[in-house]
Structure 1
Amino acid sequence: MLLCHGFTGSPQSLRPWGEYLAAAGLTVSLPRLPGHGTTWQEMSHTRWEDWYAELDKALARLRADCAEVFAMGLSLGGCLALRLAEVHGQAIRGVVVVNPSVANDVPLLRLAPLLRLVVSSVPGVAGDIKKEGVSELGYTRTPVKAAATLPRLWALTQADLGKITQPVLVFHSPQDHVVKPTSVRILRERLTRGNLDVVELRDSYHVATLDNDAEQIFARSLEFIDTNASVPLQGS
């Protein structure tokens, strides 16, 4: 299983999910994307191509050891997981995404290509969690230069959604303060082969993998793997 964390986040946001899948006997890879988990200043020297390349390398390593690979991701990590499925076709057996970001629906980000010329960072988006006492390890500032590269990734991913024939499971929080419903609407409109299932998370915000509905995400994603793998999981 290849897990992809979100923009300005870190593997910490998906670690419980990865540990759950590993405990079920699955091989799990959860790479840290370049520029993440260090400082936002370092991240400002990276772009979406760097993040995707890191996942591409992780996928190659998994394919060398595993018969099948599922791609999973949170937020921007969900977009990258979908992009992997578009590019690699059936090398990705299925996709699970949590509050995926595939659209440029934030007004400030529309200005990023110009904004990066005058400011280096804006307030961060990490930590949108409903559950009390839980926090996400993410940047308190968003590097504008890195954010300015996102529209190209979103455009490419949207343009190629029709290439995805693999099953796709989407977890969506109606109370998401980071990603608007536009992304899920686009997925509903473009994935019309009967391969899309959307599950609403009524008790979580954006970082649902650390929130009140986390156990539902973990259990249903494992069920999704068991259903769509060519060989059922041991003990199922």
Structure 2
Amino acid sequence: MAEQYTVLEGAESFHFEGNRVGVLVSHGFTGTTQSMRPLGKAFADAGYTVCGPRLKGHGTHYEDMEKTTFHDWIQSIEEGYQWLQKRCDTIYMCGLSMGGTLSLYMAEKYSGLKGIVLINAAIEVPDMETATTMKDTRFIDAIGSDIKKPNVQELAYEKTPVQSIREIVGLMEQVRLDLNKVTCPTFIFVSNEDHVVPPYNSEVIYKEIQSEVKEIISLKESYHVATLDNDQAYIIEKALEFISKH
């Protein structure tokens, strides 16, 4: 029988019922919905219907994550998208880190997506590519909680499965090849200093997507997990502006 893992407190999926405009929000690799809850709540307070899925294998135990593939993570997002489709006429997506990668994937695949907001999205992380070649190592140190603001902790795994790194690298490669399929309005936030995803990722995304409406904005006071960092209020303000405009 498969081992059952309990979901960590604060890592649960969240849903807010609102109007006919939906926002799908996605957390990142080894992280949890905790990193996106402030944004989700802000979207809900603005009247939108919000879905923040917990990606499969996340928010439980890193050994649970080790068993999942990037197809499982896509499925978690697609289920959230379907939940919103039943309630909304228009859907936007907002993602942090691998959540940004998944937002790009959805924009590549679903022409119905009205717009995407990317926060330090990942399409190429050389350190991760190096880690995939490790033969006799099952887990490496954590990548979570890259936050500039003092005394703020991201709820994330304390170890990273090497097998899961192989999965995210596969996802990034696939998404990068199809960036030219992204045509919806896109708003990109990029931290000037990020110790997880090199900031040049956002420049590549900006150049290669085919969206007529696209904007890139620097975050000067946040590291990788910008949604929990000093620029949180600014991200919320700009993301709400973007959704109401498009």
Same fold judged by TM-score > 0.5? yes
SS of residue in 1 equivalent to 2:52: coil
Task: Check the 8 A contact 2:69/2:164 in 1, yes or no.
Answer: yes
The aligned runs of 1:102-141 (5 Å cut-off) are 102-106=123-127, 109-115=128-134, 117-141=135-159
Of the candidates 159, 176, 194, which is equivalent to residue 212 of structure 2? 194
The residue aligned with 1:57 is: 79
Of the candidates 108, 126, 129, which is equivalent to residue 86 of structure 1? 108
SS of residue in 1 equivalent to 2:82: helix
Of the candidates 202, 217, 221, which is equivalent to residue 203 of structure 1? 221
The residue aligned with 1:149 is: 167
1:98–1:35 Cα change, 3 Å: same
Deviation at 1:220, TM superposition (A): 0.7
Match status 1:67 vs 2:70: no
Deviation at 1:192, TM superposition (A): 4.8
* TM-score, structure 1 normalization: 0.92
Mapped partners of 1:193, 1:86: distance in 2: 11
State the Cα deviation string for residues 8-46 of structure 1 (Å, max 9, x = none): 000000101100110111100001001110110110001
The residue aligned with 1:37 is: 59
Query: Taking CA–CA contacts closer than 8 Å with sequence separation of 6 or more, which of the two structures ends up with the larger relative contact order?
Result: 1
Of the candidates 38, 48, 51, which is equivalent to residue 16 of structure 1? 38
* TM-score, structure 2 normalization: 0.88
Name the aligned partner's letter for residue 159 of structure 2: R
Task: Check the 8 A contact 1:105/1:182 in 2, yes or no.
Answer: no
Structure 2 stretches lacking a partner, 5+ long: 1-22
The residue aligned with 2:121 is: 100
Deviates more, 1:191-200 or 1:202-211: 191-200
Mapped partners of 1:223, 1:190: distance in 2: 24
Deviation at 1:47, TM superposition (A): 1.2
Mapped partners of 1:173, 1:148: distance in 2: 25
Structure 1 stretches of 4+ with a deviation exceeding 2 A read: 111-114, 191-195
Task: Check the 8 A contact 2:181/2:210 in 1, yes or no.
Answer: no
Task: Check the 8 A contact 2:139/2:162 in 1, yes or no.
Answer: yes
Mapped partners of 1:113, 1:134: distance in 2: 30
Mapped partners of 2:214, 2:109: distance in 1: 18
Mapped partners of 2:130, 2:238: distance in 1: 38
Task: Check the 8 A contact 2:42/2:236 in 1, yes or no.
Answer: yes
The residue aligned with 1:234 is: none
Structure with greater strand percent:
2
Match status 1:213 vs 2:231: yes
Deviation at 1:168, TM superposition (A): 0.4
Structure 1 stretches lacking a partner, 5+ long: 229-236
SS of residue in 1 equivalent to 2:90: coil
Give identity over the alignment, percent. Answer: 37
Name the aligned partner's letter for residue 85 of structure 1: A
The residue aligned with 1:231 is: none
Match status 1:3 vs 2:25: yes
Mapped partners of 1:141, 1:151: distance in 2: 17
State the Cα deviation string for residues 102-130 of structure 1 (Å, max 9, x = none): 11322xx2244432x41110001100111
